[in-house]
Amino acid sequence: MEWSDEQNVKSIFTFDDVCYQYTKERKALHNVTFAIGKNRKTAIVGSNGAGKSTLVLHLNGLILPGSGTVSYKGTPITKQNREQMTDHVGMVFQDPDDQIMALSVFEDVSFSLVQKQLGRPEVEERTWSALERLHIADLAHRSPHELSFGQKKLVAIAGVLAAQTEAIVFDEPMAFLDPSEKREIKILMEELVAQGRTVVITTHDMQLIADWADDCMVMKEGQCLGIMTPRQLFANRQLILDARLDLPPLVELVASLWNEVEDGEMASDMPIRLQDVYQWIQRNDTKQKKEGREYQ
């Protein structure tokens, strides 16, 4: 599948006709074919049961396809190399209780590093660095089970951050976080891409897609409906309806104003991000004031 805008983007993950089913009665993925660009911010979207979580579990070999091929940097992920994928792809689960296993926060964040038999100085440096980056160093010697859900989620993210993988996958990264924690995770995801990493998320937060994502992959009932930019997604009202998604409130508002101000429907240059909306309003306010003066 070709990229909609960036034809020179190299793929880090490719799915080629991938099918997967949990049971004969429960099919999760149907003939899924698409690519995820390297060093991109990719959001996988769809309603509940669309297959998002099943799909991302294929990215580091936790699940292998029933048929078809999932490749990482051109190499198929197989039974023989799936264990090595944790060195390349970090996974943050939606529920941190599925991920946290140690008796202290420090032990949990450092767990994967110890398993790799890294030297103690490197283990400690990476662990403290991740804890400090997420502002939870003061929790290092606490039991994870004493923490709030949001704090547990930050601990799970710190463990993946300490592993320093090239790609990081977040399954619903903003779930159960308070507003300040959400802002912090969004900044972190921006930083990771700026460092050359690839970040993939699943989310129901359509405004997060508008503000953050480079690419959106749309899922419905285990099938890929396409991969595109957020602006292209929001301009396609039929696709939004087909995938049982909603426009973000900000985009819905701008779309209603756009028809009046710009005399056109959801044009490709319609602003969808908060800063772009501010600039558009300011430009039109200046234009209207100028036209008013000229009329007078």
Mean pLDDT across the chain, nearest whole number? 87
Any idea which residue has 């985009």 for tokens? 251
Name the pLDDT band for 62 (thresholds 50, 70, 90): very high
Please tell me the least confidently modeled range out of 59-63, 67-71, 279-283.
Answer: 279-283
Indicate if 147 and 288 belong to the same structural domain: no
User: Looking at residue 37, which CATH number applies to its domain?
Assistant: 3.40.50.300
Asked whether residue 88 is domain-assigned, the answer is yes
Measure the CA–CA gap between 114 and 127, rounded to whole angstroms: 11
Q: For the residues 47-60, what does the mean pLDDT come to? A: 93
* 203: pLDDT strictly greater than 70: yes
Asked whether residue 1 is domain-assigned, the answer is no
Type of residue found at 211? D
The pLDDT, as a whole number, for residue 290 is 65
Q: For the residues 187-204, what does the mean pLDDT come to? A: 94
Per DSSP bridges, beta strands 67-72 and 11-21 are antiparallel
Asked whether residue 199 is domain-assigned, the answer is yes
Asked whether residue 6 is domain-assigned, the answer is no
Measure the CA–CA gap between 135 and 232, rounded to whole angstroms: 36
| Alpha-carbon dihedral angle through residues 264, 284, 215, 265, given to the nearest 10 degrees | -10
CA–centroid distance for 234 within its chain: 17
CB of 185 within 8 A of CB of 174? Answer: yes
CB of 20 within 8 A of CB of 65? Answer: yes
Indicate if 213 and 293 belong to the same structural domain: no
Indicate if 32 and 93 belong to the same structural domain: yes
Asked whether residue 4 is domain-assigned, the answer is no
Range of the domain at 140: 11-244
Indicate if 160 and 106 belong to the same structural domain: yes
Indicate if 115 and 258 belong to the same structural domain: no
* 109: pLDDT strictly greater than 90: yes
Share of the chain above pLDDT 90, in %: 66
Asked whether residue 5 is domain-assigned, the answer is no
Indicate if 180 and 104 belong to the same structural domain: yes
CA–centroid distance for 269 within its chain: 23
> What is the tens place of the pLDDT at every residue in 119-154?
999 999 999 999 999 999 999 999 998 999 989 999
Domain limit, last residue, from 210, 225, 244: 244
Indicate if 215 and 279 belong to the same structural domain: no
Indicate if 208 and 162 belong to the same structural domain: yes
* 3: pLDDT strictly greater than 70: no
Indicate if 80 and 113 belong to the same structural domain: yes
The pLDDT, as a whole number, for residue 6 is 43
Measure the CA–CA gap between 205 and 52, rounded to whole angstroms: 14
Identify the CA nearest to 17 among candidates 6, 36, 32.
32
Domain count, the chain: 2
Q: Which of 5-9, 136-140, 180-184 has the highest mean pLDDT?
A: 136-140
Q: Is 267 exposed, middle or buried (0-12, 13-18, 19+ CB in 10 A)?
A: exposed
Indicate if 274 and 216 belong to the same structural domain: no
Which H or E run includes 37? strand 27-37
* 172: pLDDT strictly greater than 80: yes
Measure the CA–CA gap between 208 and 196, rounded to whole angstroms: 21
> What is the tens place of the pLDDT at every residue in 71-83?
999 999 999 999 9
Asked whether residue 3 is domain-assigned, the answer is no
More confident residue, 242 or 282: 242
CA–centroid distance for 141 within its chain: 30
Measure the CA–CA gap between 32 and 77, rounded to whole angstroms: 16
Domain limit, last residue, from 244, 266, 285: 244
- Cβ neighbours of residue 145 under 8 Å, at least 6 residues apart? none
Indicate if 208 and 275 belong to the same structural domain: no
Measure the CA–CA gap between 202 and 219, rounded to whole angstroms: 10
CB of 167 within 8 A of CB of 12? Answer: yes
Indicate if 184 and 104 belong to the same structural domain: yes
Q: For the residues 50-62, what does the mean pLDDT come to? A: 94
